[in-house]
Chains A and B, each alone.
Chain A
Amino acid sequence: SQQGEEDPQALSIQEGENATMNCSYKTSINNLQWYRQNSGRGLVHLILIRSNEREKHSGRLRVTLDTSKKSSSLLITASRAADTASYFCAPNYGGSQGNLIFGKGTKLSVKP
């Protein structure tokens, strides 16, 4: 399967702590994207990291990519209750296979 595999499946932390989610994939990618989904809502694009990039930041989010290990991580620093959501990684293989394939995600719960 070409989907990303998120780990852990569920994560529960206290407000203010950092949350780290990992993603592994199988074959060479063009880029990898992280999305968030609040319960009952659509997906929101968070960050796209290209295959030639190793790290990217956006506000409290930090994404790393290790193409040699075929893995990526999403770090949310100083988490807030509003960060409670499911987080999905989606490897993008580009070209005619431009469709993103999503795993089951990591369900993050941030307790106030």
Chain B
Amino acid sequence: NAGVMQNPRHLVRRRGQEARLRCSPMKGHSHVYWYRQLPEEGLKFMVYLQKENIIDESGMPKERFSAEFPKEGPSILRIQQVVRGDSAAYFCASSPDSYGYTFGSGTRLTVV
């Protein structure tokens, strides 16, 4: 079992471009969570998804951010028209039952 796979590990985008972050959960895990971490800060919850459903998006900014977890393929966190303040590490976690989480290694987004 390869664990939670996130790619890319590092992503550089110019202001105004789109960023797409991918997360493949562990095999058998149907719950996916996205978190954002700013330098020297804890993780901030963004969104909780199950296959084809957004369960809780209370941590997502209202504009420019969207997430999906399709029936087939990885979960995608999409950030449109990125700004410098979007620079952060984005972590994905998966769980078989919404209790025990396994985290990926994260995607570090840098907006220049």
Contact = CB atoms under 8 A, between A and B. Distances in A.
Interface of A: 3, 30-31, 33, 35, 41-45, 48, 88, 92, 94-105
B52 interface: no
A102 B35 CA distance: 10
A61 B93 CA distance: 23
A28 to B, nearest CB: 15
Interface of B: 31, 33, 35, 41-45, 48, 55-56, 59, 91, 93, 95, 98-106
Contacts, number: 59
A105 B42 CA distance: 6
- B interface secondary structure, majority: strand
Nearest to B106: A42
Contact of A98 (B31, B42, B91, B103): B31
A41 B45 contact: no
B90 to A, nearest CB: 10
Contacts of A31: 99
Contacts of A92: 99
A103 B42 contact: yes
Contacts of A102: 35, 42-45
Given A96-B55, A97-B56, A45 B41 contact: no
Contacts of A98: 31, 48, 55, 95, 98-99
